Amino acid sequence: MTKKDKDKHVSTSVALDDEQRVRVLSPGMLVVKRFFRNRLAVIGLIILVTMFVFSFIGGLLAPIGETQVFKIYEKIEKDYAGVAISSEFQYIDAEGETFPSVAKAQLILAINKGEESFVSRDVTYSLINEGKDFYRIVQFEDVASVVSLKGIDRFTPAEGETFSRDMEEVYLEATEAGETSFEFDDVDYYIVQNGKNKTVSRAKEISLVSMMVFNPYTADTVLDYDFRYNAEKAMNDNIKSFEVNGVNYEMELDEEDFKAVFYRLEGGSKVEYALVSNVNINTVDKEFLTIDYKEAAISAIENGDTSFVFPDNNGEDVEYTIVRKNNQYTIRKYTETELINVYEAPSKKHLLGTDGNGMDILTRLMYGGRISLIIGFVVVVIETLIGIILGGIAGYFGGWVDNLIMRIVDIVYCIPSMPLYIILGSIMDFLKIDPQIRIFMLMIILALLGWPSIARMVRGQILSLREQEFMTATEALGIRVSRRIFKHLIPNVIPQLTVIATMNLGSIILTEATLSYLGLGVKFPFASWGNIINAVNNIYVMTNYWFVWIPAGLCILITVLGFNFVGDGLRDAFDPKMKR
């Protein structure tokens, strides 16, 4: 006996559970050995394990949330205030009164026509001109009617009114002097000619109409109706001092620019109270502006400057720029603003940068992989179950049952999947379906359109297997039909099902990515590899921010390639003759 023959192992055991005999008889171990001998299949398996670890374990360990938005603070130039020469009427309603918007339009027509009254929605309003572009809107309430007979005036009070002897005397004095109004007990009365008769009316204040802008010196100062009326009246009549509600005021008038500073007299001292001019300055955020700031801005505009400097509340100088557009000016300044950190390049903090929503791309890829893989596996499980049940029944029973199920398969095959996806996606968008529910509906739709190929394969295999001797034995033993199909026939189809399911996983992930890219699949805020790549809809993003979409594309490519390698490896392992 040669040395080579001595080294050979010769089994002397005849036991059925012997290790060597198990090796020879175990088909599962043979499949595993053939699979791991295929280098591409092993590479595919490593890829898939890596992607599963990356998506599921990586998402759990990531310190950043899926929808966490990162922000930064930057100084950007923003609109701060607007400046305009007042060219439209300002309306100040009397306390408890409202001058409707519809009536304002009628008022402008009345002013242009020089009319003293107008009607709006069956309400008569009267205009009292108090100065240049300065009117009072009132409603006259009749106090008494006056009838003159042979030079004698007879007074008839209106219902609910009184007209005393003293009022009659004041009225007669006013008419003799040719006046159209008189004052009695601090109330103004107006004499209105109605043909041969006259009417004494009392004015009910509705609103002041003016082009002047009132600016208080302090934020808590309230410029009421009475002050505004008396102040502008003083400007038009050049009255240096006046009294309103028991408080004395003084005025300094700039007649050239027609603006005035009003002082409130308190204990013998003058306190700056209000500035009145035709320049309107308002901040974007309704912030209170001091008179000093407004005067600095107006001075810069009048001098033709494009910028000016003014200290802020902390005493630090702030530069403001002035931008002119026609007769309006915009004041801008640099403000520290909270911004979403979009499209940040890869760094230590964000290894793959941030996307257009300021979210970490690496974290989104982890969670996106989780969604894409879950959708793939769930869809494969559902369509495989449907295919096994219908294909098994069709293959075993044959006849009209087989014919009916196969016609259903033909109908499903004929459904144009992409137009259907687009229609259903549009319907879900219109109904504003919750993004999480949308993911489940996407799984169901993909599964309902993907089972026919599996059903046909199962049917074809069972048609040949049902004529085998072991099926004749099950029939002779009286085993029920469901057990024959799912216990004895289907297990023999498992190898082919495993290969098809593995291949389908890759195609389903591609389909989901395509739908999400088109905006028909997984919706924000949930991430999937497809809707991450959706960012390349913008050509600027695609060409300038490669880190936004290339990693997601590589994840899809590598994962689908891994499934294909594993599927090919399983096919060769189950049926090595196909390779020959």
CB neighbours of residue 190 within 10 Å: 18
Both 220 and 152 in a single domain?
no
d(CA 570, CA 121): 86
The kind and range of the H/E element at 425 are helix 417-431
* Angle, CA of 533, 537 and 541, to the nearest 5°: 80
* Angle, CA of 518, 523 and 526, to the nearest 5°: 130
pLDDT in the model for residue 29:
78
Both 408 and 327 in a single domain?
no
Percentage of the chain beyond pLDDT 90 is 12
Radius of gyration in angstroms for the set of CA atoms belonging to the chain, rounded to a whole number:
45
Both 187 and 308 in a single domain?
no
Q: What domain range is 231 assigned to?
A: 214-338
In a domain, 15, yes or no: no
Point out the domain boundary residue: 316, 338, 360. Answer: 338
Both 315 and 177 in a single domain?
no
Three-state DSSP string of 125-188: EEEEEEECCEEEEEEEEEEEEEEEECCEEEEEECCCCCCCHHHHHHHHHHHHCCCCEEEECCEE
CB neighbours of residue 283 within 10 Å: 14
- Indicate the DSSP class of residue 348: S
Q: What is the pLDDT of residues 233-270, one digit of tens each?
A: 999 988 999 988 888 999 998 888 888 999 999 877 88
d(CA 255, CA 512): 75
The total number of structural domains in the chain stands at: 3
Backbone dihedral angles phi then psi of residue 115, each to the nearest 5 degrees: -80, 155
In a domain, 28, yes or no: no
d(CA 439, CA 434): 9
Q: Say which amino acid occupies 135.
A: Y
Percentage of the chain beyond pLDDT 70 is 91
User: Collapsing DSSP states into helix, strand and coil, what is residue 117?
Assistant: strand
Both 222 and 305 in a single domain?
yes
pLDDT in the model for residue 533:
84
Both 63 and 144 in a single domain?
no
User: Collapsing DSSP states into helix, strand and coil, what is residue 86?
Assistant: coil
In a domain, 31, yes or no: no
pLDDT in the model for residue 458:
84
Point out the domain boundary residue: 338, 367, 389. Answer: 338
Both 61 and 104 in a single domain?
no
In a domain, 25, yes or no: no
Tell which residue, 389, 380, 385, has the closest CA to residue 485: 389
pLDDT confidence bin for 16, thresholds 50/70/90: very low
pLDDT confidence bin for 478, thresholds 50/70/90: low
Say whether pLDDT at 477 is over 80: no
In a domain, 546, yes or no: yes
pLDDT in the model for residue 126:
84
Q: What is the pLDDT of residues 500-552, one digit of tens each?
A: 888 888 888 888 888 887 777 788 888 888 888 877 777 888 888 888 889 99
Both 325 and 291 in a single domain?
yes
- What would the mean pLDDT of 466-489 be, rounded to a whole number? 69
Question: Which CATH number does the domain housing residue 387 bear?
Answer: 1.10.3720.10
Both 398 and 537 in a single domain?
yes
In a domain, 301, yes or no: yes
d(CA 56, CA 54): 6
Both 230 and 147 in a single domain?
no
Both 322 and 247 in a single domain?
yes
In a domain, 559, yes or no: yes
Q: What is the pLDDT of residues 65-107, one digit of tens each?
A: 888 899 988 888 888 888 888 888 888 998 888 888 888 888 8
- What would the mean pLDDT of 363-390 be, rounded to a whole number? 90
pTM of the full structure: 0.60
Both 330 and 227 in a single domain?
yes
